[in-house]
């Protein structure tokens, strides 16, 4: 009786393992998360770093506007405030004077993380532009390390951390385009503003 | 006194088959140990890391089949040790036997256990991947390291078998050593634990680094050679020691 139980246990386990093997090699190879990290992406990082230093990320090809706002504005004084407890980071670019329009754009990098993020929110009331941060975004991923035995003669395991850091850089940026003649007022303790003059 | 002549190989074969049948509970314990390791591993035993950038927080739960392998190593070491206990040794005397045939049958049994352990370990890592695949949304599961080529799977099974042979031989030697005197039941584990604590307290001293002799070997031929020589040495020592134990 006991021997029968042992044989059944071993038999069932073997069948499950073998079925799992067949199932695994039948899985479609597409669809899983596969960010590439090659020499090209290292060069790309330099391009992004340089553009960020010049506050010109909005001019890069790999960055696209995810959301845009256009406000008619005839005033000559704009107050930018944080509408929540966060400290939004905004790049302000000066545009030609007397256009009567303030434009805003949320740019996102073309990466898998960008699709999973919440958007910024903006509203203009009088001369006050309120900015809501996207809020904390928690993403939980799963990854495999190479098995110790399978890796005895192989290469180092892929470092997912390094890939993610690269993907997260400049993934979501808010740009404001404000006419040159509009004076900007903000509290540096609640809004982190980088203003780039049109000259 | 028996007048029938029995060849050594015939006795070894008979004992080996007997062990395979009568110790099938050890294989059930292997299934249990691997399932326990599987549950721990599926829970993210290989670690979790997190990084933040502005308002984004990313957590990566790592997984690996190494946990199943480590548990299988512990299983085979314990079982090899059990084979040297008087209870198991005395069963051998139901046959026409001597120390050599008994040891050879044990070695055969351990080799079979290592093969079974190695193959199931490799397959369990595939089962683990399947579980992750079907329980995780694909956009949250990294493809890198997930896919295992058939060659890689075979290598993994082969390497696992070699390591299991090595650790089973080490467990068998430890068991044979302990049969010399009862006090060694306490002294040997205490020495091993002591070395662990000593090493962790003294960063510059790395006793267990000696295992890098095997772990860091990147040539398949040299790796096989090293393991084979070490296993042979351990078995010969264990057989030599078992010849010193009292006869029944």
Given an 8 Å threshold on Cβ–Cβ distance, is A141 in contact with B146?
no
pLDDT in tens, chain A (199 residues): 777 888 899 999 999 999 999 999 999 988 888 776 555 566 677 888 888 888 888 888 878 899 999 999 988 899 999 988 888 889 999 998 889 999 999 999 888 888 888 899 999 999 999 999 888 888 888 888 888 888 888 776 666 777 777 778 888 899 999 999 999 999 988 888 888 876 5
Alpha carbon distance A188, A81 (integer Å): 10
Alpha carbon distance B99, B117 (integer Å): 26
Nearest CA in chain B to A136: B55
Residues of A in contact with B216 (CB under 8 A): none
SS3 state at B217: coil
Nearest CA in chain A to B70: A148
Beta-carbon neighbour count of residue B14 at 10 Å? 16
pLDDT computed for residue A184 by the predictor: 92
pLDDT computed for residue B93 by the predictor: 67
> Is A17 an 8 Å CB contact of chain B?
yes
The partner residues of A132 in beta bridges, in order of sequence, read A121
Beta-carbon neighbour count of residue B226 at 10 Å? 16
Q: Which of residues 31-70 of B touch A (CB under 8 A)?
A: 31, 34, 46, 49, 51, 53-66, 69
**Which residues, 6+ apart, have CB-to-CB distance to B70 below 8 Å?**
B37
Mean pLDDT in consecutive groups of 10 residues from the start of chain B, 248 residues: 70 88 89 93 78 82 90 95 82 71 91 96 95 89 89 94 96 90 84 83 73 89 96 94 66
SS3 state at B119: helix
> Is A168 an 8 Å CB contact of chain B?
yes
> Is A112 an 8 Å CB contact of chain B?
yes
Alpha carbon distance A148, B160 (integer Å): 9
Whether the CB-CB separation of B101 and B12 falls below 8 Å is answered with: yes
| ipTM associated with this complex | 0.85
CB burial of residue A58 (10 Å; 0-12, 13-18, 19+):
middle
pLDDT computed for residue B88 by the predictor: 76
């Amino acid at each position: 009786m006991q021997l029968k139980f042992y044989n059944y246990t071993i038999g069932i386990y073997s069948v499950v393992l073998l079925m799992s093997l067949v199932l695994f090699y039948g899985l479609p190879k597409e669809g899983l998360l596969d960010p590439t990290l090659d020499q090209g992406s290292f060069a790309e990082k330099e391009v992004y770093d340089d553009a960020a230093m010049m506050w010109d990320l909005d001019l890069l090809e790999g960055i696209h506007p995810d959301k845009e706002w256009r406000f008619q504005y005839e005033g000559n004084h704009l107050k930018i405030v944080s509408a929540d407890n966060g400290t939004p980071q905004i790049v302000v670019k000066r545009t030609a004077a007397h256009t009567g329009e303030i434009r805003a754009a949320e740019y996102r990098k073309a990466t898998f993380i960008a699709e999973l993020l919440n958007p910024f929110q903006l509203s203009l009331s009088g001369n006050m532009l309120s900015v809501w941060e996207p809020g904390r975004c928690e993403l939980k991923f799963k990854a495999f390390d190479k098995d110790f035995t399978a890796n005895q003669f192989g290469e180092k395991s892929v470092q997912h951390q390094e890939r993610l850091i690269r993907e997260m850089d400049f993934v979501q940026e808010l740009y404001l385009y404000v006419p040159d003649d509009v004076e900007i007022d903000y509290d540096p303790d609640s809004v982190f503003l980088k203003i780039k003059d049109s000259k | 006194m028996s007048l029938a002549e029995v060849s050594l190989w015939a006795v070894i074969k008979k004992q080996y088959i007997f062990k395979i049948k009568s110790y099938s509970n050890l294989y059930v314990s292997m299934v249990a140990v691997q399932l326990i390791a599987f549950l721990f591993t599926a829970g993210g035993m290989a670690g979790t890391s997190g990084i933040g950038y502005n308002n984004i927080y990313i957590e990566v739960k790592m997984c690996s089949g190494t946990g199943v392998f480590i548990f299988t190593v512990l299983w085979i070491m314990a079982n090899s040790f059990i084979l040297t206990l008087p209870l198991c040794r005395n069963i051998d005397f139901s046959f026409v036997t001597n120390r050599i045939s008994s040891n050879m049958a044990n070695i055969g049994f351990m080799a079979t256990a290592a093969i079974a352990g190695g193959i199931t370990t490799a397959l369990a890592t595939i089962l683990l991947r399947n579980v992750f695949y079907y329980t995780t949304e694909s956009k949250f599961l990294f493809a890198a390291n997930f896919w295992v080529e058939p060659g890689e799977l075979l290598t993994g099974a082969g390497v696992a078998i070699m390591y299991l042979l090595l650790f089973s031989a080490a467990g068998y030697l430890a068991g044979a050593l302990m049969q010399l005197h009862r006090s060694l039941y306490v002294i040997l584990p205490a020495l091993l634990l002591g070395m662990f604590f000593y090493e962790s307290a003294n960063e510059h001293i790395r006793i267990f680094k000696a295992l890098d002799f095997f772990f860091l070997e990147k040539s398949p031929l040299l790796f096989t050679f090293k393991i084979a020589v070490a296993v042979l040495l351990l078995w010969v020592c264990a057989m030599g020691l078992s010849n010193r134990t009292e006869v029944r």
